[in-house]
Every structure is written in structure tokens, then in C-alpha cells.
Structure 1
Amino acid sequence: MHHPSRDGAIGRVLDRLAPLAPRLVADPQPAGPRSPLRTAKRAWRAVAEGATHHLVLQDDVEVCEDFAAHLLSAVQARPDDAIALYVNADSPSNSYTVRHAAIVGAPWAALVPGEFVPTLGLVIPAHLALALADFLDTLPDDFRDDDAFVDLFCRLNDLPVYATVPNLVEHGAGLSAAGNDGHGVRRSAVHLPSWEREACYWDEPPAGDRGAPMRAGGSADPHYAISVRAATCVVRFLHATDVHPLRQPCAAWQLACAVTGSPVDSVLSALTDHLRTSEGTATAERTAALGVPARYLVELWAAGFLTGADATDPEKRPAPWPARPELLRRCRERAVDSWLDAGFLTAVRPMDRVEARSLLRAFALTAVDRGHGGPSTRSLS
């Protein structure tokens, strides 16, 4: 999907996609009202003759090294599903499905129905791509946002969407041609610019299905996601209603975390214990000197601890979890980094942010490990 305002940069994007042979589908009305949907209609119909699958990328993507090989092996592992190559770091629920998968070492995150399907990079079977194009053609261009209607199509056709972990695509840093510059960071929850996979990497299962309550015959239990916005940790509960497929009642973690199996006292006592160590004391003193408010440490610790506690169930952890420690370490670090971008560094001077990020990353990963080893009275798949 291409907007002519990016003619000067598209060549670099196309070069990174080799040995694939991408075709440009340009916005047919580039001077008109901004509408990703207008171009998406044409992009999803541009299926090559004889193709088994169809990939649509937006023209401001950054792809990982060896992108084509990663992509083809992922499609071979899940030939009947929709595969998202990117999930936004601040999406309400699906960013957590990706972070949780990164924490436990799973290669897939099952995305939650009812939340927009990330369309920065999406691949689906070719016959469904044409059906999606037919569906989108029924919508007026001024509906604008294609991702919400791709989600609706997937729900109507019972098409599950799985995200690759790590994400194979990152969002470029330029201005949005769709007018989405006010939508936050617009970066991937877990993207690695380069990484090596084992031959059977994509054959492993996802770590649970947080969207089960929204699926036909799915779990009736409440599921949850740990979310971070403006340096604040909250718990979102996911469940379906007759009126709307997805509700997200949201509460401060102190009010809701007991339902996750980790009472407030267990989170705070673990934090207190860590701050009494030499490492914890040094982190608190140095981050304070760099301008990080003390309450940010509490919120970041809660996010890490609750995520770690949510990974204690052996059923959520793929069997080969310890087999690739370097990839696991890098994915976990990136999952935490994308939290830090949600406001934790705003009070730090630009010249000090590299140091602050390093300190806060290590602090958050300690919280994950403490939660992972802590008590868990309830398991939600």
C-alpha cells in the first residue's frame, strides 16, 4: 500500500523485501481525504495468479533481516490462518499477548478478536484475501480505518489471527500518511532487527488464547491483559457481551491484581525486598538522580511482576522454552523496552535516557523474574 508522498523512500523498502517481488498499489486519490481503507480495498484484491497466500505491507515499514525466509517459514507453519507481522506497542490487549509470548518464549501470540487487526503487515490465504477485498468494497471510503474492518471480516469468517514473536515488521519513524500521528508511539511491542531461528521454531504453539471469551464455544472465564499507559500499570479484563464483542473494563493494578492470582501485598513485598538489596538500592538512587519519579518504579515493578506471575503455568510455556536463551533474552528485553516508551523516560533528560533505559530495563526484568517465581493462585490461559 503506497502513498505518493513517500516516493522518495519506497525504493529502500522494496530493496529490503528481496527476494520477494512486491508490487505497489498506490492510493488512487492521494490528494483526497486521508483513508487507508481506500487503498486497502485495492491492495487486498491484487492477488497474484496462482498464489497460495497474499501479503499486504504498508509503505512505511521496516522489516527484519532475512525477512523473506522468516515469513515463508511462518506461513508454512500456519497455512490456514491470518498472520500479523506487527502489533502496536500500546494496543490495549494485543500488545500484552505479544509481550506475554515473549516472556515465556512462544513464537506466536493469538490475537484478541474485537480489537483492530494490525494491518501494517498482514498475510492471509489468497482466496480469503479476495473475499476480504469483496467485503471492504461494500464499505464507503470515509469509514477510513481498514484495521477495524479487517477484524470484523476475520470474526465473521472465524479466521484466527496470530502474531509472529518477535514481530517481523517495525513501524517507520516518519509522519503518518493516514493522519495517525496522534496515536502514540506507533512502534512494535516486540521487534528484533535481526535474529536467527531454529528450523522448527514456528512449529511451537502459542502461549494460550487470551481471546477465548470472544470465540464461539470459548472460555466463559474472565481473561485479562496487563497494560501500561503514561507510566501507569492497569489491568484490563476481557469478556464478550451480546452488544459488543469486546469489553475492556480497566482498573488500577492495586484494585484488580488479586483476580490475577497476585495480591497487592505479594507485589509490594517483593518490591520492598528487592529495594533492600544493593542492586535495588543503587537502581532507586540512580534513577531518582536521573529524574525518574519513585512512583514510576512501583508501576513498572507491578507490570513486570504481574506479567511474570502470568507465565508461571507450565501449560503456557512451550516445552523448548530454555533451549534458546539468547533469543529469549532479546525478546524479553524488547518487550520491556516498549513499556519504557510509554512514558517512563519523559522526565529524564535526553542525554541521560540511554542510562535510564538500561537501569529500568534491568529493574523490570527482575520484577518479571520475581513474579515468575512467586505464588500464583489462579491460572488463566
Structure 2
Amino acid sequence: MSRLSWRPGDVRLSVAIMHHPVRGDAADRIVEACRPLVARVVTDPAPNAVRSPLRTAKVAWAAIAEGATHHLVLQDDARVADGFADLVAEAIAGRPRHGIALYTDWISPQNSYLSRLAAVAGSPWAPLSPMEWTPALAFLLPAGTAAELASYLAPIPDEVTDDDQMMARFCRERSVPLLATVPHLVDNRGMPTLISGHGGRHHATVWAAPAVPPAGHWDVDPRIDEALAARSQYRRHDEYVVQVKDSRCSIRLLRPRTGEPGGNEFCWYWDDWCDLIGVGGREVTAGLAACLDTLDHRPPPRVATEIWAAGYLLGLDAAQVRRGLSAPLAVATPGAIRAAVSSWVHAGLAAPLDAADRAALIELGSAAVALGLRRRRPDPLVAAGVPAGAHGEDIPHDNPYHHN
């Protein structure tokens, strides 16, 4: 059955919810929110043992309902968008043979940026990094592939704990194409983590609520995916992501052939290294002062510069992606741009700011994105005479049981 012949009614979705008893009735609330989908709660088979998401994931990925075309595994700290059952069926019909994440974490080193990039470029699909951990909070696969994943996970020792890393390794070895829905259909409810070392606040990068995607949102030409995927495949030395962390905007060049793990956050300050992605620092900040003059409230100047730089670089990157497309793509809505910038503001600041400062920063960053979308920049490698993909497939081999 071809992609275009799939309809939401063709999707028969099996749902399992990973649950630990210390979370009380959290899973029951997700069961109700998923209706009319029938979600099965899969409880940790050894809840008093050392905590291991992998132990429960093994059972959850094997819990595929008979006759299902696809299988979704949710974790019990998830919350789903209103109208979830219909939305997820429509999304699956748009990309029925892919692994689909319904969530990316707003501070993940690569996938959060790739989700923001897709949102600003106007795409409902964000191709994900082949090296970063799979967003295990809400992830689905075709039923046959899900059964293969269950068999793959079964012999791995529970002590490995990190189901998301093992899922990423499986998808990489099987060449399973990975996409995230944009906007995300699942958010993290912000419950305390059960695993040490995984603290902090966790939420969706581009959350669907309160607005939900309209009918037909997911059915776009798959050539869009190819153009966006070229941004983070570890094949070119100019692949990069932009991050905002501790009130600082940084650029991370992905550096293929170095063997750096997908979660490594070795970054450079944007103003020192933006020339490597084809733009000068003065151009980045050229519109900042004028935009600040239009705001009713001025945020702290240093943070304002960092959010402006991140927004401008994101808009510039999205403009470059759009120019390389062979198929038309809808213009990003102001709501999508604001959602992408908002998660940067809420997750990336070193110290909490009041509501007025945050609102001003979101307005400022959104304006910077819009300005970047209107600008043109050269491809630095093409300008140097190096064709795209010239460095080949440079994905490093990782230790199968080691979490970096």
C-alpha cells in the first residue's frame, strides 16, 4: 500500500503505557485521554529492583495487540493533546512506514533544534538525528518493526537501563527512518524523574496545545523530509545545530568522523564561530536595536542578544532549507515560530525571569526568526567547491551498551 493510499481509518494502533507503581494513577489518566484507543498499562515487572526503563520497555514493545498495523509506547509521565486518537491516526497515515516520535525534549542536544527547524521551515515532519537517543516518552513503529525491536531489546541486560539509547541503536542498524510530528502531540507532564542523573525540567519542544493541527496537516510531499534530513545525517562537515543553554547561544558543528557521541555538547559561542556557517556576527545583530525599540518592555540586554542570535540563525537555516526544496512547503505560521522560540526561552535561561521579560524575549526571538527567514546566505562548503555529501557516510560506531 503506497503512502498516499493510506487513510486514518486504515490505521489500527496498539498502545502500551510503561508504568511504575510509585507514579500512582498516572497511567490510568493516560488511558482515559487516549480513548477510543485501547491503551494497555504495562507495569515494571520488578518495581522493587534497581530502576530500569529498559526492563519495562522490553515488555511494552512486545505488548502489540493482535491485528495492529502500528504500535505506540508511552511513558506514564506523558500527557497527550486533545483529540489524540484522531490526530495520531492522521499522522501515521501520512508516514506509515516510519518510526514516529510524538515528542522531542526541549533541551535535547540535536532533536530539539531539528524540531524547531522543521516548525520554522513550515514542515509537519522533523527528521531526527541518527545518533541522538530516541525520544522514548512517546514513540511508535509499524507493528512488524515494533516486534523486531522487542526481540532486539530482550537479551540486553536490564542494568543498561537506557531504553532510548538501545532504541536508537536498533533504528540505526535497521535504517529505520525517524521523524517527529510538528507540532508534537505529546508533552511531558513535568513529574520528577525516576532515574538518577536525568533531572531538570522536561517538556515538548513544539507543543500542539492549545491549537491542534488541521485536517491534511501531515500529508505533504516526502521530499520535504529529505531536504530537512540532510541537515543532521553526519555526512557533511557543515552540519550544525544551534542551542540556548544557561542564557547563552551556541553553535555545535556535528563533526563527522570524530566519533563524538550524539549527546556530547561540545559547542562554540555563536559570535566566535558563526562565520563557519556562512554569516557574520554583525549581520546577525544588525536588526536587534531596532526591534528592541518596538517592544513595550525591554528584557535584560545580554539575554536579549542571545535569544535574538538564536532566532536569527534558526530563521536563516530554515530559509536555506526552503530554498533547496523541489516541492512546495507552506509558510510557517506565527504560532509555530512562537512555539519554537518559546521553548528556548523557558528552557534555556540560567536564571528565572519574570513573565514580562519572558514574553518580551519570545517576541524578540520570533522577530529575529522572521528576519532570518527573509535573508539569504551562501552554503559555505558549496562556495568552497565541496559538493553536498562529499564526505560520505560518516556515522561513528558506538559501544552497544555504553551511555555517554
Q: Which residue of 2 aligns with 1:69?
A: 86
Q: How does 1:261-340 map to 2 (within 5 A)?
A: 261-275=278-292, 278-280=293-295, 282-284=296-298, 287=299, 292=300, 294-313=301-320, 314-315=322-323, 319-322=328-331, 328-340=333-345
Query: Any idea what SS the aligned residue of 1:138 has?
Result: coil
Amino acid at match of 1:311: A
Q: Which residue of 1 aligns with 2:362?
A: 361
Query: Any idea what SS the aligned residue of 2:146 has?
Result: helix
Give the TM-score of the pair, scaled to structure 1: 0.88
> Which of 159, 181, 187 is residue 176 of structure 2 equivalent to?
159
Paired with 1:189 and 1:114, the residues of 2 have a C-alpha distance of: 18
* Farther-moved stretch of structure 1 (10-19 vs 202-211): 202-211
Amino acid at match of 1:306: L
> Which of 195, 207, 232 is residue 191 of structure 1 equivalent to?
207
Paired with 2:347 and 2:324, the residues of 1 have a C-alpha distance of: 27
How many residues are treated as equivalent by the alignment? 358
Amino acid at match of 2:254: L
Q: Which residue of 2 aligns with 1:136?
A: 153
Q: Which residue of 1 aligns with 2:43?
A: 26
Per the alignment, do residues 213 and 60 of structure 1 end up closer, same or farther by CA in structure 2, a change over 3 Å counting?
closer
Per the alignment, do residues 251 and 55 of structure 1 end up closer, same or farther by CA in structure 2, a change over 3 Å counting?
same
Query: Offset of 1:225 from its aligned partner?
Result: 0.7
1:1-26 per-residue CA deviation (whole Å, 9 max, x = no partner) reads 01111223332221110110000111
Query: Offset of 1:212 from its aligned partner?
Result: 5.0
Q: Which residue of 2 aligns with 1:14?
A: 31
Contact 1:10 1:59 in 2 (8 A): yes
Query: Any idea what SS the aligned residue of 1:25 has?
Result: strand
Superposition CA RMSD, Å: 2.2
5+ long unaligned stretches in structure 2: 1-17, 382-387, 389-404
Contact 1:83 1:123 in 2 (8 A): yes
Per the alignment, do residues 256 and 142 of structure 1 end up closer, same or farther by CA in structure 2, a change over 3 Å counting?
same
5+ long unaligned stretches in structure 1: none
Query: Any idea what SS the aligned residue of 1:142 has?
Result: helix
Identity among equivalent positions (%) equals 36
Query: Offset of 1:99 from its aligned partner?
Result: 0.5
Contact 2:190 2:201 in 1 (8 A): no
> Which of 141, 160, 172 is residue 189 of structure 2 equivalent to?
172
Residue 107 in 1 paired to residue 124 in 2?
yes
Amino acid at match of 1:96: Y
Query: Any idea what SS the aligned residue of 1:301 has?
Result: helix
Q: Which residue of 1 aligns with 2:270?
A: 253
Amino acid at match of 1:308: G
Query: Offset of 1:248 from its aligned partner?
Result: 6.1
Query: Offset of 1:180 from its aligned partner?
Result: 5.2
